[in-house]
């Protein structure tokens, strides 16, 4: 009888976990391989055609990591970077025609009049140097402080570049389309404004803006099934969101939110209002999400099409099972590492890669057992 009772209790506990929408697989289908370590607060990564990887370090260095784990000296040619608070060298992306033009794009906190602001520059990679570096986007205006820079970069199938930005800790700015704080911008690969941008001809909004009402978008990814960009917002105490981007849409921050402020005060009593988008899902309490990716490889067929999000506060990788554009369950991975997961990418080799955010950060590959 005692054995039967224990079995029933275990079954009940498992049912409770399933009902909460999160599963904890005992037999994980993966093992981890450390590709490289000794990276200082790595933030973003991009896969080069020859099997090497570009990895950013938030203090302001760009590295090239070889398949054997060798880390290059810092790539030269970067502009002045403000490594202030959450700012520094952030994301990195390759031009869709990188094989021919060798153009690398990167986002960073740029110092200037008024403080710092998220900016995007591009340069041509030759050896261990970026040449002809040019800043093609600057967040307006620059503000003091070290909070909420964003910032992820995603090229869409039409060749336009999406740039996510935070509200810089000034939440009221996210509803003002005359500034870039709390927005996602969309530009052409040379920095010009796409003619079909939602505010391209508006007198009341900056023409680069694609969405607004965003708090601090530290994760953004292209859904390979639809070709549409998704983004997640790092909320305050609760209210982390995953959103599907729509041109000109208002995602509500801080007018609607599931979160409260860090001091416990109420930001808004409303979680929905007409004209403001609802998230695909939200995490309350917060998991502190960062990088995100859709898995489109062949090494883990059971994960095909699922969304993966790095969790900083909860120190795990969150798998979000999808049924079309709706959540169909969640699973926690990599809890055994005990590390803040800063970024996650689906590699061209079919594996899943993550970066851990620490002074001795690691580049880790998930492989099938």
CATH of the domain at 48: 2.120.10.30
Report the DSSP pairing between strands 281-283 and 217-223.
unpaired
205 pLDDT more than 60: yes
In a domain, 20, yes or no: no
Whether 289 contacts 312, CB under 8 Å: yes
Is the full-model pTM beyond 0.85? Answer: yes
pLDDT the model gives residue 11 = 39
pLDDT, tens only, 168-185? 999 999 999 999 999 999
23 or 72: which leads in pLDDT: 72
90 pLDDT more than 50: yes
In a domain, 106, yes or no: yes
In a domain, 16, yes or no: no
Whether 295 contacts 303, CB under 8 Å: yes
Whether 306 contacts 317, CB under 8 Å: no
pLDDT the model gives residue 8 = 36
In a domain, 286, yes or no: yes
Q: Report percent pLDDT > 90 for the chain.
A: 93
Residues designated as active site: 148
In a domain, 283, yes or no: yes
In a domain, 130, yes or no: yes
In a domain, 71, yes or no: yes
Count of structural domains, the chain: 1
Using alpha carbons, list the distances in angstroms from residue 42 to 49, 208, 323, 345. 21, 28, 32, 13
Q: Using 50, 70 and 90 to split pLDDT, how confident is the model at 27?
A: confident
Tell me the C-alpha distance between 343 and 296, whole Å: 16
**Which residue range(s) make up the domain with 170?**
30-368
pLDDT the model gives residue 22 = 55
Whether 267 contacts 260, CB under 8 Å: yes
Whether 349 contacts 320, CB under 8 Å: no
In this prediction, residues 132-141 reach a mean pLDDT of: 98
pLDDT the model gives residue 19 = 32
pLDDT, tens only, 286-331? 999 999 999 999 999 999 999 999 999 999 999 999 999 999 999 9
In a domain, 21, yes or no: no
pLDDT the model gives residue 26 = 62
pLDDT the model gives residue 221 = 98
In this prediction, residues 339-361 reach a mean pLDDT of: 98
């Amino acid at each position: 009888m005692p054995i039967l009772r224990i079995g029933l209790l275990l079954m009940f506990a498992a049912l409770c976990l399933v009902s909460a929408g999160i599963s904890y697989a005992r037999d994980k289908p993966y093992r981890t391989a450390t590709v490289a370590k000794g990276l200082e607060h790595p933030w973003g990564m991009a896969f080069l055609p020859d099997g090497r990887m570009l990895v950013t370090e938030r203090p302001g260095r760009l590295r090239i990591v070889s398949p054997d784990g060798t880390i290059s000296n810092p790539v030269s040619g970067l502009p002045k970077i403000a490594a202030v608070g959450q700012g520094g060298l952030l994301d990195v992306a390759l031009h869709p025609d990188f094989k021919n033009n060798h153009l690398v794009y990167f986002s960073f906190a740029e110092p200037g009049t008024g403080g710092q602001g998220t900016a995007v520059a591009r340069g041509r990679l030759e050896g261990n140097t970026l040449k002809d570096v040019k800043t093609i986007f600057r967040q307006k205006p620059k503000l003091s402080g070290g909070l909420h820079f964003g910032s992820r970069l995603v090229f869409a199938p039409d060749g336009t570049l999406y740039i996510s930005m935070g509200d810089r800790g000034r939440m009221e700015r996210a509803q003002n389309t005359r500034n870039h704080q709390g927005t996602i911008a969309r530009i052409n690969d040379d920095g010009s404004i796409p003619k079909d941008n939602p505010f391209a001809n508006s007198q009341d909004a900056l023409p680069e803006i694609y969405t607004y009402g965003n708090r601090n978008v530290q994760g953004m990814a292209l859904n390979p099934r639809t070709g549409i960009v998704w983004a997640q917002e790092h909320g305050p105490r609760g209210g982390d969101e995953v959103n599907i981007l729509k041109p000109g849409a208002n995602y509500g921050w801080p007018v609607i939110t599931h979160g409260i402020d860090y001091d416990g005060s109420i930001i808004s009593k409303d979680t929905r209002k007409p004209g403001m988008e609802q998230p695909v899902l939200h995490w309350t309490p917060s998991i502190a999400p960062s990088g995100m990716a859709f898995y489109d490889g062949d090494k883990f067929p059971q994960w095909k099409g699922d969304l993966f999000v790095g969790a900083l506060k909860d120190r795990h990788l969150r798998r979000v099972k999808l049924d079309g554009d709706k959540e169909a369950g969640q699973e926690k991975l990599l809890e055994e590492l005990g590390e803040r997961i800063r970024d996650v990418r689906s590699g061209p080799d079919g594996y899943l890669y993550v970066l851990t955010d620490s002074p001795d950060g690691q580049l880790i590959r998930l492989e099938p057992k």
